[in-house]
A and B are shown apart, each in its own frame.
Chain A
Amino acid sequence: MGLALVLEDLTWSFQPDGAPFLRIPELRIEAGTVLAVGGPSGAGKSTLLFLLAGLETPTGGHIYWGSEDVGTQRLSRRDRWRRQNLGLVFQDFQLVPELTALENVLLPLTFTSFRVSGPDRQRAADLLARLGVLRPQARASTLSRGEMQRTALARAVFSRPPVLLADEPTASLDAGNETAVADLLLEYSRDHGATVVVSTHQAPLRDRADAHITLGHGTLEGTK
């Protein structure tokens, strides 16, 4: 099941006491919602996602995922929360090029255990096959862009996290792959009740989301 998201008086600035670059007084998203975040480049979409992922510390305010305030937790607690609850997808895929597609999917498992079990390997291979990556043993650097993003998506959803964050996941893809990856994101939310936050400036993906907000100059300009 997904987690509900509540933002309260969230601010973030580049310097600790500088003018806020991002300011969101209030935002409430129900569990299982697909939320699209729109807005021009530099409006703070990536920064918002990094804050939601607990990779940045807010200057002020709260970020509640369910009952956990990710914004004020200690760093080690945040690492663990991220490991257990979050799948991340990036615009530029962020795979480890020297590892195979399969190893990229399994890599997060090695953060906590020394051995990767046979069933986990099988499940990762099945997942890749289902997402359309047909060469799981190929080095990530030899995959096509579409295959790379599908591998990155497989890595993000492998542990069935209740929250999936995607930063412009389709911006680097051709039209065919754009639709396919968007399908997969929506399908994951539908099948597992996961909350998905996806930043995008592409209308098709935005229109298919349950809700969308638009950021402009660091503040909310519109919601649906």
Chain B
Amino acid sequence: MNPLWMVLADLRKTLLASLGILVLLAIAFSATVAVSLFERSLRQAGADSAKDFDLVVGAPGSRLDLVLASVYLRTDEVLPLLPFEVVEKLQGDPRVARVSPLVFADHFGDFSIVGVGADFPLLRPALKLVSGRWPAKPFETVAGATTHLPLGAEFLGSHGVVARSGVDEEVHRQAAYHVVGILAPTGTPWDRSFLTPYNSIWLLHETLEPNPTPEERAAIRKVSAALVKPRDFAAAYALRAEYREGSTTAAFPGEVLAGLFSLFDAVRTTVSLVNLVFQALVFAAVLLSLLAGLPSKARWIGLLRALGAGPGYVFLTLWIQAALVFLAAGLTGALVGWLGAQALAGFAGGQSGLALAVGWSWTETTLIMLFWLVGLIGALVPAVAGYRTSVRRSLLGL
């Protein structure tokens, strides 16, 4: 048996309608694939960025804000400041292997200038220099990969992201930063930052007060957060518990992100559900249109039966025809979904500084298989409805 002759002959006749059905199905399916791919790439990049961050200590407040600021440099919410004594106390703590303060205050353009301690490069081995050296004194800085500033460049920091809007009252003209090193790209928001010794930022802000009182000086000598590497697992949990008491808070970024990702899950579930309903509607519409198209096939179905074709041949012809459209729609939808996820990742990556790598996995392969399975079963509907067409009626019209 070879129903392909009739399958191709009839597809040729119904080419436009078949292509239309294919496009509808592919669009419906591509949304599901895109969401699946994009969500995983976001989760992966989010988790990768947090890898070097063991424990973050900050002033009491939102732990989510603390983690977003220290891991992703999202400083839209101004963090409450932490007295420097806390950092000193941590430095003296035997359970602490390394600690570095983080000071978020100034910007160059929309790149963050982050004040860090001498231990910072050791805390974050993923940050590697491609040229130059780490800063040794105030106002020396290493530039993140996407700042595209060369070695030896000088720039003025400003308070807040104002330089581009042309409002330059808040530009700190007292001292310029000097690029002494360039960092290799990491695919994290840190690519869009400048790292400098934390006291650079203190010195700048102190010059705003010509004769600071001890109180004013103490108000400036604060940090946004402290990044801590505990000696071991037990120390990590002990430190976290201890620094959640009183005038500080502490968080494992991984833990906070897990909470955030569970929110992702809820969003993804909702989006998937909406997608599913959308797909079911398109499926139903396609099946109805296939059924509605059956009368136009009645003539050749009757003819095939008259020429000696069994019902099985007619059934296969109808089934393969519909199944081919579903199979092609699955492939097209997957391709469009993948391209869509790439575009989303490019856009979101540009916004956040995260390098979002869209990678195919078994999840998407399973989605295609499921789509195909449902399609192959759905294609049975017109086949079952059509294969017992009355030969007399279709050939004589009586």
Using CB atoms and an 8 Å cutoff, list the residues of chain A in contact with chain B. 46-47, 50, 53, 55-56, 75-76, 79-80, 82-84, 86, 88, 90, 94, 96-99, 103, 107-108, 110-115, 155
- CB-CB under 8 A from B395, the residues of chain A are 90, 94
Q: Quick one: closest B residue to A112, CB to CB?
A: B1
CA distance A52 to B305 in the complex (A): 15
In the complex, the answer to whether B5 meets A99 with C-beta atoms within 8 Å is yes
CA distance A79 to B311 in the complex (A): 9
- Tell which of B10, B307, B391 touches A111, judged by Cβ atoms closer than 8 Å: B307
Is B96 in contact with chain A by the CB < 8 A criterion? no
Rounded to whole Å, the gap between the CB of B398 and the closest CB of chain A is 8
- CB-CB under 8 A from B305, the residues of chain A are 55, 79
CA distance A113 to B299 in the complex (A): 23
CA distance A188 to B359 in the complex (A): 67
In the complex, the answer to whether B303 meets A96 with C-beta atoms within 8 Å is yes
- CB-CB under 8 A from B309, the residues of chain A are 79, 83, 108, 111
- CB-CB under 8 A from B306, the residues of chain A are 53, 55, 82, 88, 94
In the complex, the answer to whether B310 meets A96 with C-beta atoms within 8 Å is no
CA distance A47 to B398 in the complex (A): 10
In the complex, the answer to whether A113 meets B2 with C-beta atoms within 8 Å is yes
CA distance A107 to B5 in the complex (A): 8
Q: Quick one: closest B residue to A92, CB to CB?
A: B395
- Tell which of B8, B9, B308 touches A108, judged by Cβ atoms closer than 8 Å: B308
**Contacts A53-B306, A107-B307, A111-B313; A96 near B1 (Cβ below 8 A):** no
Q: Report, as a range, how many residues of chain B touch the other chain.
A: 20 to 34
- CB-CB under 8 A from A88, the residues of chain B are 306-307
- Tell which of A94, A97, A114 touches B1, judged by Cβ atoms closer than 8 Å: A114
With most chain B CB atoms within 10 A of its CB, the pick from A75, A79, A99, A111 is A111
In the complex, the answer to whether A111 meets B392 with C-beta atoms within 8 Å is no
Identify 10 residue pairs between A and B in the complex whose beta-carbon atoms are under 8 Å apart, listed by A's number: A46-B396, A47-B392, A56-B391, A79-B305, A79-B311, A96-B6, A96-B300, A97-B13, A98-B13, A113-B2
The binding surface of chain B is classed by DSSP as: helix
Rounded to whole Å, the gap between the CB of A109 and the closest CB of chain B is 9
Q: A82-B307, A94-B395 are in contact. List 6 more A-B contacts (CB 8 A).
A: A55-B305, A86-B308, A96-B303, A98-B9, A107-B5, A111-B307
- CB-CB under 8 A from A55, the residues of chain B are 305-306, 391-392
In the complex, the answer to whether A79 meets B310 with C-beta atoms within 8 Å is yes
- CB-CB under 8 A from B5, the residues of chain A are 99, 103, 107, 110
**CB interface residues, B 286-327, toward A, < 8 Å:** 299-300, 303-311, 313
- CB-CB under 8 A from A56, the residues of chain B are 391-392
- Tell which of A46, A47, A79, A99 touches B9, judged by Cβ atoms closer than 8 Å: A99
CA distance A16 to B342 in the complex (A): 64
Is B12 in contact with chain A by the CB < 8 A criterion? yes
Rounded to whole Å, the gap between the CB of A51 and the closest CB of chain B is 10
- CB-CB under 8 A from B310, the residues of chain A are 76, 79-80, 111
Is B3 in contact with chain A by the CB < 8 A criterion? yes
Rounded to whole Å, the gap between the CB of B174 and the closest CB of chain A is 83
CA distance A76 to B387 in the complex (A): 13
CA distance A55 to B305 in the complex (A): 8
